[in-house]
Structure 1
Amino acid sequence: MKKGDRSAGVQRQYTGTAGRIENAQVGVFLAYASERGRALIDRRLYLPEHTWCEDSERRSGSGVPDDVEFATKPRLALQMIEAALDAGCPSSWVTGDEVYSQDPQLRSALEARGVGYVLAVACTTRVRINQDRTVVRADAAATALPPDAWHRQSAGSGAKGPRYYDWAWVQISSDANRCLLIRRNPATGELAFYLCWSPGQVALSAFVRVAGIRWCIEECFQAAKGQVGLDHYQVRHWTAWHRHITLAMLSLAFLTAVATSTRPARSAEPNRPARSSDPIDLTIPELRHLIGALFKRPSASVAMLLAWSNWRRRHQAQARRCHYRRRLTASSPT
């Protein structure tokens, strides 16, 4: 389960790179990720406390319900997580960026429900380490680690192959299940940090896997914007915003479910290597292309459309294998 935060359109004023006052809306999103797929499953519109929540005239003009009160982004995220868990959505982990890791109430609520988390933090985050509970910055803790504390592991497969990084963890309390996770880029040495907690003792690879799932939220937003028009709107009303965002999320979830259902069963030959003639699975962009072509009364037959789709996916599979070989050669663990 993941949380996302993205700007979208109108209503909130800010001054940015445009060199003038612009309008924007800020939404907080919840994404669900599993081995079978990922999709956005909930959303909340963030209202600034002073410029919106306390301005009755602006609230009335935009149709904001009277019972809507100010809530921070972590609080909105917690509301969505709790709603998903209460609805029976199975999830063992939550991951998110620095906005959410700074809220101790969010972390405490997850721990109370037995849900583990891997939340990104800044390098300036102060943690307690060692038996004397020394307080140090996260980057200082990383610098003090011996060479054998680092382990080369993959954070999951990306578009061009496994994403290998060097990982280390430091216990930051008497609770063995709480740690600071540190990621180091083997090529650049760039560091990233995560506060982690699990309801039971887990291996380093478990935290690494959850940290790597964070890229799913970017994939969800890319698909939602590029394929179902998540950001293609100009509305200024509370109801209109929620209608558009919900329809876009529903469309993405539909495409994700269809893509998952069309994957061939491989359980009969679990150890069979992929053949060069095997196409990649149907993707959301490919499905959208096929559905759009069918609705437009294509000049080609359905059989021809599917044949072209298989041809494209076979070539995409070949390109993926080349990328994977190159990445494995350059970044294989040592």
Structure 2
Amino acid sequence: MIRRSWMIGASIETTLELWASSLREVKGRMSGLFTQERVAASANLFLDGLLGDERRKTGWMRAEAAGDPGPWRQQAILGRGHWDADALRDIVRVYALETLADDDAVLVIDETGFLKQGKASCGVGRQYTGSAGKITNCQIGVFASYVSRHGHAFIDRVLYLPKAWTDDRDRMAKAHVPDKVGFLTKPALALTMIEQAIASQAPFSWVAADSVYGVGDIEMALKRAAKGYVLGVNANHPFSSWGKSLAVAGTAKDIAEALPENAWRRLSAGDGTKGARLHDWVYLELADLDADVFDAAFPGIWTRGLLIRRNIADGDLAFFSTWCPVGTSMEKLVTVEGHRWAIEDSFETAKNELGLDHNETRSWHGWHRHVSLVMLAFAMLAVIRYRANDATPQKRPRMPTIKI
């Protein structure tokens, strides 16, 4: 069951022990969601199937691994059974944060696509997804990932419903979408997840997201909550400064093009699969603001800024609106932006190895149940990785031999 890609620095024996104990623990945590033991047993087998060696996590594949004659018990967990997917989401968050929590953590918001055929799957439609790099028939899920020096894991998720869905109540009813669910933009969904993370007292100091989420209500909410941010914005987003030695005004693109070459600094946004992810960067402080200016309940001076990233190979530019305590370095902001890579890595791992996009249900609750179970499996792997590394003795320098 333990793939080579999941092995860490600990010995095989230690990893096996951590795997067995962690699997027992997560199954025990979710057992209270189910009123019948047979349903809990099926959920346990479902989790085993997600973590198994099968590349496709279909109902038939999971059933075969569980020794069932057909996929019906596996499908019942996602469809006919009665249990609360949001309660499992909360269990995942608590479980992950017990190990990964850090006050300087970054909450990363991003979305991913689930390619589909037909029109019946909840939320499906022709829409753009970065997963395919084009407009195609798919569902879109918006996710929050908790990223700290201890590791990273998903702690929230929600299925995006286009207006073509929310304006069609019959279609919504057929997909078992709760009556209270209406149309919300992706930034509005992200803001709800951020507010839930804050309300749950998840410790984090930063939020990072791409340009889909970069302006509007999210910025103001984070300012009032004393959370720094590095949020992507479009090239035509306007910026202006005041009270700073370098006066700038105009669109992000115009400001970048007017910068002298010596303004750029080459920095790493963190290590990727091929080593340091190097880019050229510029950080412009635009204004210092006292917290009481934006009705915050905490004291202090914070700085609004513009962070610009330039690709070394082709000169492609990316722009970020920033908010941070006064005196925060550009290196810190670059590191925060670089944490967005963690959620991209999470999507890839969850899809390729845990079946995140192998959901065969068409309903609202089926999508959220499947995704929440995958989140639990992913969080378990993150916890095992941390505990395995923590259990690995640090190599001590070899002491020179003293001859007498």
- Please give the TM-score of this superposition, normalised by the length of structure 1: 0.74
For residue 4 of structure 1, what is the aligned residue in structure 2?
110
For 1:237 and 1:60, how far apart are their aligned partners in 2?
9
Pairing partner for 1:214 from 340, 345, 352: 340
Q: Check 1:35–1:267 CA distance in 2 against 1; reply closer, same or farther (3 A cut).
A: farther
Mapping for residues 211-250 of structure 1, pairs under 5 Å: 211-250=337-376
Calculate percent identity across the aligned residue pairs.
40
Are 2:283 and 1:169 aligned? yes
Query: Relative to 1, partners in 2 of residues 1:267 and 1:156: Cα closer, same or farther, differing over 3 Å?
Result: farther
Amino acid aligned to 1:77: A
Displacement, 1:120? 1.3
Distance in 2 (alpha carbons) for counterparts of 1:130 and 1:148: 23
Cα deviation per residue 1:265-316 (whole Å; 9 max; x = unaligned)? 578658x69xxxxxxxxxxxxxxxxxxxxxxxxxxxxxxxxxxxxxxxxxxx
TM-score normalised per structure 2: 0.62
CA 135–58 in structure 1, closer or farther in 2 if over 3 Å, else same:
same
1:71 aligns with 2:184: yes
Distance 1:240 1:268 in 2: 44
How far apart, in 2, do the equivalents of 1:33 and 1:222 lie?
A: 16
Structure 1 residues 188 and 71, CA gap change in structure 2 (3 angstroms): same
Q: Does 1:111 align with 2:223?
A: yes
Q: Which residue of 2 aligns with 1:186?
A: 312
Stretches of structure 2 lacking an aligned partner (at least 5 in a row): 1-106, 290-301, 399-404
* SS of residue in 1 equivalent to 2:389: coil
Residue 217 of structure 1 and its aligned partner are, at CA, apart by 1.0
Q: Distance in 2 between matches of 1:69 and 1:41?
A: 22
Aligned residue pair count: 268
The aligned residue for residue 146 of structure 1 is: 260
Q: Which has the higher contact order (CA 8 A, sep 6+)?
A: 2
Gaps of 5+ in 1: 274-334
Which has the higher mean CA deviation after the structures are superposed, 226-235 or 139-148? 139-148
Q: How does 1:83-122 map to 2 (within 5 A)?
A: 83-102=196-215, 104-122=216-234
Contact map agreement 2:231 2:321 (CA 8 A) in 1: yes
In 2 relative to 1, CA 48–266 (structure 1 residues): closer, same or farther, beyond 3 Å? same
Once residues 151 and 136 of structure 2 are traced to their aligned partners in structure 1, the CA distance between those partners, rounded to angstroms, is 36
Is residue 6–residue 28 contact of structure 1 (8 Å, CA) maintained in 2?
yes
Q: 1:65 aligns to what SS in structure 2?
A: coil
Give the match for residue 170 of structure 2: 57
Give a deviation string over 1:81-132, Cα, whole Å, max 9, x none.
1111221211100001110003x11110011100111011222222114669
